[in-house]
């Protein structure tokens, strides 16, 4: 049952190492982005013991953990789907007896694993260079909670990325939607800073959007959250996971009904 | 001065560049820019997504940096306004660079498709197409309010005279030369390896260090950002010059770095053209 998808995993893995310089530059870029964010906060805490209610250990641990989880959650191959739709290549997947979504789950799995390994190497380099004092999870329950949040975050980003790419059914200008999604993620998903340092109305307003559930809450769960808050946040994560799945399926079916492309 | 025989036909020989040639090249850029404007017009409502995204990013970092400086001691010796000038100068220069050199982001496709051959065959400097390729009006439009906000905050800095403003704009121009050199490096890398996308984004990520003054970083990073990958010279030195924080030798170093980097980028470009293998066209 999984044999066809395993082939996609193998092919995706091979494609990454076909252009080794490209692969190296991609990893270098991810490391530089993480390093810049870390250096800013490290500079803040060189001259202050606390900022925005966070201690140095808490904030630097947050930046490292969210950097790692962000690499896993946000990395995707789904941006290629838009081009496939526009050029008509998607018909090859539609005619095959395999699930299009499972194919992309398989290819995304490879992408995320490579990003995870690259992120770990980057984190080790940063720890060796800066030797920050870091915190661990208070208990194993926090790790379990973080994994559940992570699963929800992966589901949410997979579905949103798919919906953005599926705009290709109706327009060729996909990059505009993807750019806006990227900017919103950068601002409110909690990569550059924990979003609870924002003014309370803004923070609580963001809880009604899917973005905090991508990797902010997985990170906070890992570092430690009050149980009541965790349960409420988990409820939000599950609701958004379900909602994004429903929206993705709706957009997919609507797009296929209206889809046409130049003959192949 | 950099006169050379070569495949790129670049000839910066002082005293031999005619006004007619300059006007011809400006006219070519004008034609490309008109085409860009038409493309922008055909984008319809999606152009608003780009504008909103860029504005959201700018506003976010503006208030984030303001909040950081007000609530922490990240920039001792600088006022909140001066900290914002660093960020605004970085954003303005970045916007101008993107407005001029947006075409670089499309270079990879030209190389892999073979259409770069057709550009090399044209009777004008290929940099007019692959480096400039017409102005990106979206970034140019955003540069105008950015310049206004930047000058508003600059004028809030006390004790500045005309010489400070002149130095500031000259150092921004120096930064533009460094940015040009970086983009030519990226084009050269694109010919040798076709890896343009990651290279140009690495440049963008490294220059983002310039959102803050170099003082906040550790000594080793300050050295790297000044002398190895001189993004500090590019984006931070203009504001240092504005605030009279640079010595004469640092001005000389900045000019030497920009001229040296530009010269090195031209040499790498000519070297890379010798290894160019067309994909067929």
The terminus-to-terminus CA distance of chain B in angstroms comes to: 34
Q: How far is CA B167 from CA A25, A89, B163, B275, in A?
A: 36, 55, 6, 41
CA dist B259 and B272 (Å) reads 20
Nearest to B62 by CA among B87, B89, B96, B90: B87
CA dist B93 and B223 (Å) reads 22
More confident residue, A212 or B74: A212
Question: H helices within A47-90, ranges in order?
Answer: 56-74, 79-87
Q: What is the mean pLDDT of chain B?
A: 87
Q: Average pLDDT in the A99-116 region?
A: 91
Q: What is the dihedral of CA A144, A146, A152, A158, to 10 degrees?
A: -120
More confident residue, B203 or B3: B203
A238 min Cα distance to partner chain B (Å): 28
Does A180 sit within 8 Å of B52, measured CB to CB? Answer: yes
Does A184 sit within 8 Å of B56, measured CB to CB? Answer: yes
Amino acid B2: pLDDT: 38
Amino acid B40: pLDDT: 86
- Reported confidence tier of residue B281, pLDDT bands at 50, 70, 90: low
Amino acid B260: pLDDT: 95
- Looking at the complex, does the CB of residue B195 fall below 8 Å from at least one CB of chain A? yes
The answer to whether the pTM exceeds 0.90 is no
Task: Give just the sign of the alpha carbon dihedral B27, B43, B145, B82.
Answer: negative
Q: How far is CA B77 from CA A7, A59, B73, B157, B247, in A?
A: 59, 24, 9, 13, 18
In this model, does residue B6 exceed pLDDT 50?
A: no
Q: Which chain A residues contact residue B76 at CB under 8 A? A: 47
Across A126-140, A212-226, B201-215, least confident range: B201-215
pLDDT tens digits, A174-200: 888 888 888 888 888 888 889 988 888
Instruction: Find the CB nearest A180 among B53, B201, B209.
Output: B53
| A20: DSSP letter | H
Asked if this assembly's ipTM is beyond 0.95, the reply is no
B218 min Cα distance to partner chain A (Å): 8
- Reported confidence tier of residue B8, pLDDT bands at 50, 70, 90: very low
Helix (H, G, I), strand (E, B) or coil at B213: coil
Q: Which chain B residues contact residue A193 at CB under 8 A? A: 64
| B132: DSSP letter | I
Does A187 sit within 8 Å of B60, measured CB to CB? Answer: yes
- Looking at the complex, does the CB of residue A39 fall below 8 Å from at least one CB of chain B? yes
Instruction: Find the CB nearest B71 among A19, A22, A52.
Output: A52
Backbone φ and ψ for B235, nearest 5 degrees, come out as -110, -30
Amino acid B239: pLDDT: 94
Q: Average pLDDT in the A245-249 region?
A: 96
Burial of residue A155 (CB within 10 Å: 0-12, 13-18, 19+) is buried
The token duo for A88 is 């008509």
Backbone φ and ψ for A240, nearest 5 degrees, come out as -70, -35
Q: What is the mean pLDDT of chain A?
A: 89
- Looking at the complex, does the CB of residue A80 fall below 8 Å from at least one CB of chain B? no
Chain A interface test: which of B55, B61, B63, B72 (most A C-beta within 10 Å)? B72
Q: Average pLDDT in the B71-86 region?
A: 88
In this model, does residue B279 exceed pLDDT 70?
A: no
Nearest to A182 by CA among A90, A102, A75: A75
Under 8 Å between Cβ of B11 and B4 = yes
The terminus-to-terminus CA distance of chain A in angstroms comes to: 30
In terms of C-beta distances under 8 Å and separation of at least 24 residues, what long-range contacts does B109-113 make, across chains too? Answer: B111/B190, B111/B191, B111/B194, B111/B196, B111/B279, B112/B194, B112/B279, B113/B279, B113/B281
Amino acid B14: pLDDT: 45
Instruction: Find the CB nearest A43 among B56, B199, B216.
Output: B216
CA dist B34 and A119 (Å) reads 43
Length of chain B: 281
Instruction: Find the CB nearest A44 among B60, B74, B209.
Output: B74
Using the structure block, give the residue that is written with the tokens 């300059």: B22
Does B198 sit within 8 Å of A26, measured CB to CB? Answer: yes
Under 8 Å between Cβ of A203 and A53 = no
Across A205-214, B81-90, B118-127, least confident range: B118-127
Q: Average pLDDT in the B122-145 region?
A: 90
| A49: DSSP letter | S
- Reported confidence tier of residue A8, pLDDT bands at 50, 70, 90: confident
Q: Average pLDDT in the B257-276 region?
A: 92
In this model, does residue B218 exceed pLDDT 70?
A: yes
Q: Which chain B residues contact residue A206 at CB under 8 A? A: none
Q: Average pLDDT in the B208-224 region?
A: 86
Amino acid A173: pLDDT: 82
User: A51: part of which helix (H) or strand (E)?
Assistant: strand A50-51
The token duo for B179 is 């940015």
CA dist B124 and A20 (Å) reads 35
pLDDT tens digits, B99-109: 999 999 989 88
DSSP bridge partners of A54: A51
pLDDT tens digits, A23-79: 888 889 899 989 988 998 998 898 888 888 899 999 999 999 999 999 999 988 898
User: B19: part of which helix (H) or strand (E)?
Assistant: helix B19-42
In this model, does residue A5 exceed pLDDT 70?
A: yes
Does A33 sit within 8 Å of B74, measured CB to CB? Answer: no
Under 8 Å between Cβ of A78 and A108 = yes
pLDDT tens digits, B167-190: 999 999 999 999 999 999 999 988
Amino acid B16: pLDDT: 62
Crossing angle (nearest 10°) for helices B197-207 and B162-193: 150
In this model, does residue B19 exceed pLDDT 60?
A: yes
Instruction: Find the CB nearest B46 among A21, A32, A176.
Output: A176
Under 8 Å between Cβ of A194 and A50 = no
In this model, does residue B1 exceed pLDDT 80?
A: no
| B263: DSSP letter | H
| B210: DSSP letter | G
- Reported confidence tier of residue B76, pLDDT bands at 50, 70, 90: confident
Q: Count CA atoms closer than 13 A to B170's CA, side-chain side.
A: 12
Q: Which residues contact A34 (CB under 8 A, 6 or more apart)?
A: A67, A71, A119, A122, A123, A126
DSSP bridge partners of B154: none
- Looking at the complex, does the CB of residue A92 fall below 8 Å from at least one CB of chain B? no
More confident residue, A210 or B227: A210
């Amino acid at each position: 049952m999984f044999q066809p998808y395993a082939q996609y995993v193998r092919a995706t893995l091979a494609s990454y190492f076909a252009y080794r310089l490209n692969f190296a530059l991609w990893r270098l870029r991810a490391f530089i982005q993480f390093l810049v964010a870390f250096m800013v906060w490290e500079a803040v805490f060189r001259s202050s013991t606390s900022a925005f209610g966070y201690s140095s250990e808490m904030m630097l641990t947050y930046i490292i953990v969210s950097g790692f989880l962000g690499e896993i959650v946000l990395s995707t191959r789904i941006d290629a789907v838009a081009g496939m739709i526009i050029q008509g290549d998607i018909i090859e997947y539609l005619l095959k007896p395999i699930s299009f979504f499972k194919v992309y789950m398989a290819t995304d799995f490879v992408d995320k694993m490579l990003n995870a390994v690259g992120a770990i190497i980057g984190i080790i380099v940063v720890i060796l260079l800066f030797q920050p004092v870091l915190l661990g999870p208070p208990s194993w329950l926090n790790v379990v909670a973080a994994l559940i949040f992570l699963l929800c975050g992966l589901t949410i980003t997979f579905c949103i990325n798919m919906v953005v790419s599926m705009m290709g059914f109706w327009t060729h200008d996909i990059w505009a939607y993807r750019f806006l999604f990227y900017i919103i993620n950068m601002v409110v998903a909690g990569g550059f800073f924990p979003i609870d340092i924002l003014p309370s109305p803004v923070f609580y307003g963001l809880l009604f959007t899917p973005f905090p559930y991508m990797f902010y809450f997985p990170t906070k769960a890992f570092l430690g959250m009050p149980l009541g808050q965790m349960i409420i946040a988990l409820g939000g994560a599950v609701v958004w996971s379900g909602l994004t799945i429903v929206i993705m399926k709706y957009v997919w079916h609507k797009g296929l009904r209206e889809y046409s492309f130049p003959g192949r | 001065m950099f006169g050379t025989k070569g495949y790129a036909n670049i000839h910066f020989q002082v005293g031999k560049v005619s006004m007619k040639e300059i006007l011809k090249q400006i006219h070519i850029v004008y034609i490309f820019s008109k085409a860009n404007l038409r493309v922008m017009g055909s984008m319809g409502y999606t152009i608003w997504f780009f504008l909103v995204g860029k504005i959201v990013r700018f506003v976010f970092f503006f208030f984030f940096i303001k909040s950081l400086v007000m609530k922490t001691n990240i920039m001792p010796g600088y006022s909140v306004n001066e900290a914002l000038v660093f960020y605004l100068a970085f954003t303005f220069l970045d916007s101008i660079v993107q407005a001029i050199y947006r075409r670089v982001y499309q270079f990879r496709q030209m190389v892999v498709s073979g259409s770069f051959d057709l550009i090399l065959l044209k009777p004008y400097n290929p940099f007019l197409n692959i480096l400039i390729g017409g102005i990106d009006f979206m970034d140019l439009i955003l540069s105008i309010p950015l310049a206004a906000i930047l000058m508003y905050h600059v004028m809030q800095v006390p004790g500045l005279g005309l010489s400070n403003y002149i130095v500031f704009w000259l150092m921004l121009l120096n930064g533009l030369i460094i940015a040009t050199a970086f983009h030519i490096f990226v084009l050269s890398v694109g010919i040798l390896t076709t890896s343009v996308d990651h290279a140009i984004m690495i440049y963008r990520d490294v220059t983002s260090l310039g959102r803050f003054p170099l003082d906040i970083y550790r000594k080793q990073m300050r050295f790297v950002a000044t002398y190895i990958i001189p993004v500090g010279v590019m984006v931070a030195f203009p504001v240092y010059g504005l605030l009279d924080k640079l010595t004469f030798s640092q001005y000389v170093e900045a000019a030497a770095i920009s001229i040296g980097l530009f010269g090195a980028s031209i040499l790498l470009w000519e070297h890379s053209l010798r290894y160019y293998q067309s994909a067929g066209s």
